[in-house]
Amino acid sequence: MEAVPHRPSQPVIPNPGDPASKLAIEKFADGTIACLKFTGTIDESFEGKKLGASAGGDTLILDLGGVKKISSFGIREWVDFVAAAGKQVRSMILIECSPKVVDQLNMVANFAGGGRVFSFYTPFRCDYCDSDHRVLLQVDKDHETIKSMKLAERPCPSCKEAMYFDEDGATFFSYLIGQEKFELEPDVAAFLASKLNYAVSDLNRKLRVDKVIEGRTTYVKLAGDLEKSFPREKLAEGLEGTVILDLGSIGRVEPAGAAEWRGFVKMVTPLVEALYLAAVPPAVLEKLCSAEDLGPKAQVLTLTLPYACSTCGTTSAQSIDVGQHHDVLKFATAPELRCTTCKHAMQCVAGEAQMTLLPGLPKPSASTEVVKALGILRERALQIQREKKPVSKSNVMAAVAPVAAQRSSLLVPFLAALLAVVVAAGGYLAYQRMNKTAEAPKTALGTLASRSAATRPAWIASDTQGTAACVDTADKGLSCVGVSSISARQDDAEDEAADAALDAVANALAVRITSEDWKLSVIPTYKAARDAKLAAFDRDPSNTSARRDVREARNAVGRVLRATSGGAVPAAPTGRYWEEYAGADGKRYLAFAQVSLGATELAKLVEAYTATSTALGATAVPMFPLVGWRYPKLDHGAIITKLGSGALQDLGLAEQYVVVAVAGRDVIDGASFAKLAGDEHAQLVEHGGTLRLKVQASDGAPREFQAVIKAKSDDTSVNTGKGQNGGKTGGSNGGRPTGNTGGVNVWDRYGGGKGSGRDDPTQ
């Protein structure tokens, strides 16, 4: 019968190129594993190459169970997609392939790219009740059935009578019999089974243990389901010192397994100095992380919570550092995080049962050395796990599959025999050449293990970490290239490189601006902060604090640049390239990103950022992205470049201040500042009230400036020639009267008032 596993409700993202939304794509992610679920029709509106180029991480899973049709032009786009995606990830796995997808696998060369099929649906027919059904097969547990190319009858889920396999076996299985049996890696199996509730065979969910010992720290990674066979005695034997248990790949927690786990914790508590739980998934948090379960020594170091981004539709499991966010977690509140894909704010979608446990988690006592060791040991365990895998025929089959010719049932025996010869005669050599490991050059970063292209693109002129530079192009445009620091994650390195390139773009724009007023007011707003942070990073690029400050600032610059450029700056880098290095500390990545702008876009941006608007005696320009170096949390506003006499000067504002909001309404740019301030002041002069401005005046949080404005109809608001009302009113509100003023009472953020205004010469 048809197997349609339940999955949590997720946002559906229509294919942006298809106004009819024929194809919908759901996105899921957890660390280095990502899943794209396709539903609907794949046709020429599917922007395959663009989507493939945006892929990243270690493993990409493609859920194709909902694909109902693939047009001829859709096949072209799909092949472009898998080709581009295959260059961005280490492995690609196709799951729940619909019969329509299996048909294309059988007929179209390169349809799977470098990916492998793990599960697929087979069509069944019941003549008794005139119904069609699908049955899900997996290459691990159903391998012998697939090789036989025959499926036995089975009961119809509708009428319980016998239904039969409604395809020619030799034709339907022609691609699949050429693919060797393989098992999912533990992390991937746990992701599918526990995070998305996919049906994964018991074989892939059996608990596996990897242990790495460094000094007095023991790192133990558990992958699979917690059930009654959990080997608590064997695992506890010999444990001492500091023990870190990585639970990120735990799938389901059975009641019997939970009991065994509690027994294990009690057993090791008197044996170890400290017991830390890392990457605790929601299932473990909910069932095994109460105060009673943790006992006197166990502490949750990091945990994962599900977040959803309503902007780009990505749902991801985000790692939460309990020590860093303890002040938030103790109120059963999830930290505010931004989407790594589109940088917009995400919403935590964890269940109530998980959230109520957060206040009870103790603040970890782990030292920075332990936290640092966790990342190093995790990478080392992963490297050891991969090195244990022998080179098999499935490796070679995955490598040669993209160049296979179009298939038919008559060619199957010949292709199988030919591939067997390839494996026997030179498969291992082919595998080594594909991975470029044997002859890889050694550098200061380690051995070059892999890269996204055969050679470095011509646009890369330097590989100095953490730098960015721009050059003029032949068409009077601009090409800016950012280089990341060496990073343990590919996507992290790529994000850093992209932010560095965008920062270089913003700096190049500042150089091109000729307005003296702009230079005198805007550049001093950020220059000192930018110079200081870059200098600290240059002195010691390995300094965590210095690198964090630069990354935070560049990310802010990139975010504001994209948001305020009016589409002149591309949403994604023009060019990307990365290199993977293998060393004693495991895999490390160096990434490069290029952002190119034409002459038209450059002129448009310079004009936009120097456009002036005036209101109430103040001249302002739009928020400039490089201000993010000083105020990384600020993403909108208007910068005051000139300030003459008027209500804002009376209010206490000054040049270089950034007006963030007027009367609670956000100031987006200079024009919105002028309109909001002008309209608000005019209304207050007519009806009376308080003028409120939120202003970034110095380091720290924005300040609020307030002034009470009396209505024209109020006698006390009009100077009668005596010139005393304003001063007296101001003084009565806590400030000192400043003379013959006419009805404007001003407060700074401390609440003291002072009268201000002018004599009316007409009186």
For the chain of 763 residues, list the mean pLDDT of each consecutive stretch of 10.
39 40 79 87 90 86 91 87 90 93 86 91 93 90 86 90 89 87 81 66 64 80 83 83 86 85 91 89 88 90 85 77 88 83 79 85 82 67 52 34 32 33 31 37 77 90 88 88 91 92 93 89 89 84 84 92 88 91 85 92 92 93 94 91 89 90 91 92 90 88 88 53 35 38 39 38 35
* Stated length of the chain: 763
Quote the pLDDT of residue 502: 95
Is the same domain home to 401 and 502? no
Which amino acid does the sequence have at 395? Answer: N
Q: Rounded distance, CA 320 to CA 322, Å?
A: 6
Classify burial at 233, counting beta carbons within 10 Å of its beta carbon; exposed 0-12, middle 13-18, buried 19 or more: exposed
Is the same domain home to 458 and 560? yes
Is the same domain home to 243 and 343? yes
Quote the pLDDT of residue 134: 92
Is the same domain home to 357 and 208? yes
Query: In Å, what is the CA distance from 672 to each residue of 186, 450, 521, 557, 660?
Result: 53, 49, 19, 21, 11
Is the same domain home to 454 and 414? no
CATH number of residue 264's parent domain: 3.30.750.24
Q: Answer yes or no: is 174 within a domain.
A: yes
Q: Answer yes or no: is 440 within a domain.
A: no
CATH number of residue 740's parent domain: 2.30.42.10
Which amino acid does the sequence have at 578? Answer: W
Geometric angle at alpha carbon 84, from 382 and 35, rounded to 5°: 55
Quote the pLDDT of residue 377: 65
Q: Rounded distance, CA 370 to CA 601, Å?
A: 48
Q: Answer yes or no: is 118 within a domain.
A: yes
Count of structural domains within the chain:
4
Is the same domain home to 739 and 596? no
Q: In this structure, are residues 627 and 530 in contact, taking their beta carbons and an 8 Å threshold?
A: no
Is the same domain home to 317 and 237? yes
Is the same domain home to 88 and 149? yes
Quote the pLDDT of residue 57: 78
* Residues pairing with 576 in the sheet: 593
Q: Rounded distance, CA 276 to CA 294, Å?
A: 10
Sequence-distant (6+) residues with CB within 8 A of 510 are 522, 523, 624, 626
Quote the pLDDT of residue 178: 84
Q: Answer yes or no: is 480 within a domain.
A: yes
Is the same domain home to 219 and 105? no
Q: Answer yes or no: is 441 within a domain.
A: no
Q: Rounded distance, CA 637 to CA 646, Å?
A: 20
Q: Answer yes or no: is 685 within a domain.
A: yes
Is the same domain home to 377 and 516? no
Geometric angle at alpha carbon 575, from 574 and 580, rounded to 5°: 150
First to last CA, the chain: 93
β pairing state of 23-30 and 314-321: parallel
Q: In this structure, are residues 267 and 232 in contact, taking their beta carbons and an 8 Å threshold?
A: yes
Is the same domain home to 151 and 178? yes
Query: In Å, what is the CA distance from 101 to each residue of 61, 75, 187, 588?
Result: 15, 10, 26, 36
Quote the pLDDT of residue 106: 86
Q: Answer yes or no: is 391 within a domain.
A: no
332 Rama class: left (phi>0) / alpha (psi -120 to 50) / beta: left
Residue 565: CA atoms inside 13 Å, Cβ hemisphere, count? 21
Domain boundary among 549, 583, 604: 604
Domain boundary among 562, 579, 604: 604
Domain boundary among 546, 574, 604: 604
> Tokens representing 496?
């850093």
Is the same domain home to 354 and 331? yes
Using the 8-state DSSP alphabet, how is residue 97 labeled?
A: B
Q: Rounded distance, CA 137 to CA 152, Å?
A: 13
Q: How far is CA 663 from the centre of its chain?
A: 34
Q: Answer yes or no: is 494 within a domain.
A: yes
Per the structure, the complete domain to which residue 541 belongs is given by 446-604
